[in-house]
Amino acid sequence: MHEFTSIKKTLFVMASIAVFGIYMVFIKEDNVFPVVVDSIDKERIYQAVKLSSGNKIKYEIRFLEFYNCLKKYKPLYKLRAPKGSEKSKYSLEVQVSLNEKLLFDVKNGKAYRVLARIVDEYGQYVDSSDTHAIMCDMSLLDTQDKGVRAH
């Protein structure tokens, strides 16, 4: 009898974890990402940092036509990472406002994954969005290399 009760408890815990996982991936509404994306002015200049192989390079960017592609984001399970060399991978962190950042994963000239992060006045993590799938060509951004290595 004790074994049967133990099996029932184990099954209950496993089912609960599965239901929670399904909720988190498929049902839970992302309240952070849409707000951050909607606050973007595609003509405004934003500060960005490219993170690649231990290097940090500062940029000024304007979203321009990239913004229209970004607005077509999809759930992460629809992600199709671009083909190409792993050496072409980097991250781009864009400061959208004092407390909001967008973090892009880029490979072979295409941004394919993005999330929003909320930070406090000291730059410390407060909250983040779900990660979303996109497929946006980086040439759609107006990018100006400031020639400054960030620290």
pLDDT in tens, 94-133: 999 999 999 999 999 999 999 999 999 998 999 999 999 9
Residues 95 and 145 in one domain: yes
Q: Residue 107: what are its φ and ψ, rounded to 5°?
A: -145, 130
pLDDT of residue 16 exceeding 80: no
pLDDT recorded at residue 6:
75
HSE-up (13 A, CA, CB side) for residue 95: 15
Same domain, 10 and 54: no
Assess whether 62 and 113 both reside in one domain: yes
Q: Does residue 62 register a pLDDT over 80?
A: yes
Whether residues 98 and 140 share a domain: the answer is: yes
Whether residue 15 is found in the same domain as residue 62:
no
CA-based nearest residue to 103, from 86, 119, 87, 88: 119
For the whole model, what pTM was predicted? Answer: 0.77
Mean pLDDT of 29-48: 93
Boundaries of domain holding 24: 1-29
| 76 and 129 inside one domain | yes
Mean pLDDT, rounded, for 88-92: 93
The span from the CA of 141 to the CA of 120, in Å, is 27
Q: Are residues 61 and 134 in the same domain?
A: yes
**pLDDT for position 82:** 86
Handedness of CA 75, 97, 41, 47 (dihedral sign): negative
| Alpha-helical regions (H) of 23-109 | 33-38, 65-70
